[in-house]
Amino acid sequence: MGKPHPMELRTRVVDFVDEGNTHRAAAAHFRVSVKFVNDMVKLKRETGSLEPKPQGRRGHGKLAGSHDWVRRKIENKPDVTLDELVSALRRECGIEVYRSAMWGLVHRLGLSHKKRPPGQRAEAA
């Protein structure tokens, strides 16, 4: 997902249209799409502001409320596997997730799910 256009451009486009120019003329003048001009004029009319809407879905995933639960599970049983965590989450909380989603959460929390400490792992042949 790209970044929103700068506030200065948004303001200049809307001001250009407010001066009596058409949306197509504004699009050609500022080298943006007609849809962008339409969206900015509509946004200004409806909200009174040209601030871009927030992007992304931070904190709205299935596991958003499970951080403490996962942390407790790993603290209580340090050698728990990702598959065991996924099964326990399904059984105890009724949340169905993939193993990769659980790994992403464990990684973001900075927790380790390794069964053996670094000095006791098997060495490559």
Question: What DSSP line would sit under 67-93, residue for residue?
Answer: HHHHHHHHHH-TT--HHHHHHHHHHHH
**Looking at residue 79, what is its pLDDT?**
82
DSSP assignment letter at 111? -
Residue 15 domain-assigned? Answer: yes
> Is 58 inside a domain boundary?
no
| Cβ-based neighbour number of residue 44 at 10 Å | 18
Give the pLDDT of residue 61: 80
Domain that holds residue 90: 67-117
pTM above 0.85, yes or no: no
Number of domains in the chain: 2
d(CA 34, CA 90): 48
Q: Give me the helices (H) in the chain, please.
A: 7-18, 23-30, 34-47, 67-76, 82-93, 99-108
Q: What is the pLDDT of residue 114?
A: 58
In a domain, 53, yes or no: no
Residue 92 lies in a domain: yes
Whole-number Å distance between alpha carbons of 74 and 80: 6
Whole-number average pLDDT of the chain: 88
What is the predicted pLDDT for the residue at 1? 61
Of the listed ranges 7-11, 13-17, 20-24, 81-85, the one predicted with least confidence:
81-85
| 84 and 42 in a common domain | no
* Whether residues 71 and 105 fall in one domain: yes
- Rounded CA separation 31/72 (Å): 54
- Any residues with CB less than 8 A from the CB of 12 and at least 6 apart, and which? 30
